[in-house]
Structure 1
Amino acid sequence: MSFRKRNIVINRGPSPHTPTPTPTPPAATAPKPPTPGIRPSPINGQPTTSTGTPSLDALLAGHAGLPLGCSVLIEEPGTTDFGGALLRYYAAEGIVQGHAVTVVGAPEAWVRDLPAVTGAEEVGDETGSGGAEKGSGKMKIAWRYERLGGFGSGIGGSRAPPPPAGSSTTTPADTTAPATPFCHTYDLTKRLTLPPTSKLAFIPPPPPTSATPFAHILTQLTTAITTHSPHPHRILLPSLLSPLLYPPSAATPSHLLPFLHALRALLRSHPALTLMASLPLELYPRASGLVRWAEVLADCVVELTPFGHSAKEEGSPQGLVRVWKVPVVGEKGGGVGGAVGRGEDLAFVVTRRRFEIGPYSLPPMEEEEGGKGAKKVDVDF
């Protein structure tokens, strides 16, 4: 049997004289621009949005904002409506940031009272009287501390991170496209002008004779969420269970609790969704089982307790603030922020232009001079 040499090369390696081809690097993709009004939590990186009130953002478990997919329940006894101011801040912030806003139960005239965004020249001018120093909103002595932000503005606040080494402090991008602030400053004496591109929707309250008062609300709410998904969406429920908006059957546990469970399921299934509701405790006390279950199904519970007397002067506290529950997101959880962790009392102040939450302390007692039965005793040491 003869063997014949064949000109077939099997598994021939590259020649040492053949140049190795340079691999083509993948095309660089531009980073996705951040969503306006959304930033990561300093605790666990969960995307958060502002409630429109910086002092309230500072109390939400150290997240410096409301984590997406969470809800806030504002409770208020008495006949006042201070909680309505927080809901209007929340709605105004969503409209300014370009988020979708859906108002449930309230008429369309409710948005006429939304506060307007203040300009840089109006910040700090509480009296409203014109003046070169007051209208500027800046202090001549502390001009170098402009970028440090105000006290109590939350973790991080408006402080900007230092620029990297070797880079200039001002870039062309900073001058041409300034970054959108996380939370704007509002003026309660002015009204917000709705832009034509605002994604604002209203869901009417249930009819008085409805057997299932929340069925049509859930249907329309699900449609609105699906329409604007995956963009950020804010849901507002002003004066939940109020007799002026809801029929008496809405306050029964067989109707309200399934509705709250459905809202919680929507928040968990749509991560870009947040919710804020207010509940009058004058009609539904906090000791009742219905309100307790509503607190369990909410992620954050804040109670505003107004004082029985009116404020004596501008800027004095008008009520106490109790934070009963804070949002805990992720296995790392979250601490409590601001004065809550130190065990201090909180109070809210509502002036002509702002709503602010801060530490509260009793004023010093004044001595009664010349009163009946007053007696001055000298003590020698």
Structure 2
Amino acid sequence: MSFRKRNAVISSSTSSQTATSRTENAPIPGIRPSPLDGRPTTSTGTASLDNLLAGHAGLPLGTSLLIGEHGTTDFAGTLLRYYAAEGMIQGHQIHVLGLHESWRHSLPGISTDDKKSSSKSETASNDKMKIAWRYESLSSGGGPRDRDAIQRQNSSAAGTTSIFCHSFDLTKRLNPTDVKGQIGFHPSMGMPNLSSPGRDTSSPLKQFIKDIAYKLANSPPSEVHRVIVPGLLSPTSYSSSSSRPEEVLQFLHALRALLRQYSGKLTVIITLPLALYPRATGLTRWMELLCDGVMELIPLQSSAVHAPPPSSKSDSKSEDQIQGLLKIHSLPIFHEKGGGSSETNSAHGDLSFSLSRSKGLVIKPFYLPPVGEDEQEKKKSESSKGSMEF
């Protein structure tokens, strides 16, 4: 039987183990568990889009999302800006393919309403910290010595709470003081080989995969990466060699392999111009099969946009006008509780989207106006114009 002195220090291994366990269990900024199965999810920067992703309330880590868009509009590009801005604020690493470095200056800034709400929550938590220690010490039977410990607990609890999805303002630009992450731009067109014109240089898509794989392998486990591939196969951003089916499919296969290998630290969003590569072609269908989620944006013509009648409140109602339709073809992460299945897609029904300065891109159910309401509104507007002329 061994004896040990009372005042002797046992060892520092237990304290080091507890310290390492605390660092491992520390929450990662911008990551929260899914309400369905607890898998880690991150925000796309658009709250209405997060709510559509199979009930996970965010984009699950280790998954990809393909967004196809018809016409010459750039609503999908706006979603990418929100996705990049959210990652920059949360401290994530962002990798962009085929865009110039000036693109970072077009990222939207945080809305003033979001800053006010966060400041109010901080002041409320601080007031709670100042008052709660008195009552908690009385209820627990502790004396004044417990005040410092209770304040430390409250401060740690307040520090863990963070905003999962920020609201952005398109008229503002991202403030450098709010930026915590890093963004890197990779070329999508290879340089011509002047020494031997007959030989082709290495593909920029393969080089992009190599760069991401190297950074993922050499980054800490708590670092989250976001990959942005805008306008895939667009002739203005990609060379003709990159648009070959074997080149594109190998690129998507490699991205899918990285997502499965680093399922706890990587997400991908890809946009595709459906005017050049419609969904009826076999290449586009194969690309959709290699992505975890597929969505389709159908912008409406200016004459078909359901605009509100001209009135004194037209400024507030103009933000709610429908600018296009949204179709969900597949969602990431099939789950036994129904997440990601075709039943959830049909439950959403017809979806529409609208883009405004303050609210951003809002996705909501699509409803046609009642029959005859448009004619009455037109008559009222014409009568009001006639009265103003007299």
TM-score (norm 1): 0.73
Contact 1:100 / 1:228 at 8 angstroms: preserved in 2?
no
Moved more, 67-76 or 309-318: 309-318
Q: What is the rounded CA distance, in whole Å, between the counterparts of 2:343 and 2:253 in structure 1?
A: 30
Aligned-partner SS, 1:200: strand
Residue 207 of structure 2 corresponds to: 216
Identify the residue that residue 249 of structure 2 maps to in structure 1.
Answer: 257
> What is the rounded CA distance, in whole Å, between the counterparts of 2:114 and 2:81 in structure 1?
23
Alignment of 1:121-136 (within 5 A): none
Letter paired with 1:257: L
343 and 68 in structure 1: CA distance in 2 versus 1, 3 angstrom threshold = closer
After TM superposition, the structure 1 stretch with the greater mean CA deviation from structure 2, 334-343 or 201-210, is 334-343
Q: Deviations over 1:92-141 (max 9, x none)?
A: 111100011111111111111111112347779xxxxxxxxxxx99xxxx
Choose which of 309, 314, 317 in structure 1 pairs with 2:319. 314
C-alpha displacement at 1:224, in angstroms?
A: 2.8
Q: How does 1:363-378 map to 2 (within 5 A)?
A: 363-364=369-370, 365-366=372-373
| Counterpart selection for 1:358 from 344, 359, 364 | 364
User: Which structure has the larger Rg?
Assistant: 1
User: TM-score normalized by structure 2?
Assistant: 0.71
Separation in 1, partners of 2:337, 2:66: 23
Change (3 A) 1:39 1:367: closer
Kept in 2, the 8 Å contact 1:306–1:319? The answer is yes
CA RMSD of aligned residues (A): 3.6
SS in 2 for 1:180: coil
Which secondary structure state, in structure 2, belongs to the residue aligned with residue 239 of structure 1? coil
* Partner Cα separation in structure 1 for residue 167 and residue 206 of structure 2: 37
Structural mapping, 1:37-186, within 5 Å: 37-120=30-113, 172-173=154-155, 177=159, 179-186=161-168
**Larger helix proportion, structure 1 or 2?**
2
CA distance in 2, matches of 1:288, 1:335: 24
Give the distance between the partners of 1:332 and 1:355, measured in 2 at CA.
28
Q: In the superposition, relative to structure 1, how do residues 367 and 315 fare at CA in structure 2: closer, same or farther (>3 Å)?
A: closer
Classify 1:194/1:368 alpha carbon distance in 2 versus 1 (closer, same or farther; 3 Å). closer
The 1:329–1:314 alpha-carbon spacing in structure 2 relative to 1, beyond 3 Å, is closer
Gapped regions of structure 2 (runs ≥ 5)? 121-138, 141-149, 193-199, 308-317, 380-390
- Contact 1:62–1:336 under 8 Å retained in 2: no
Q: 1:208 to 1:317 in 2, by over 3 A?
A: farther
Unmatched tracts of structure 1, length 5 or more: 1-13, 125-135, 138-165, 372-381
Q: Deviations over 1:244-267 (max 9, x none)?
A: 110122121111111110110011
Whether 1:270 and 2:262 are equivalent positions in the alignment is yes
Q: Which of 16, 27, 34 pairs up with 2:27? A: 34
Structure 1 equivalent of residue 216 of structure 2: 225
| d(CA) in 2 for partners of 1:227, 1:178 | 26
Q: Is residue 173 of structure 2 the alignment partner of residue 206 of structure 1?
A: no
* Large movers: runs of 4+ above 4 Å: 24-28, 121-124, 208-211, 329-333, 335-339, 367-371
Give, in angstroms, the shift of residue 78 of structure 1.
0.3
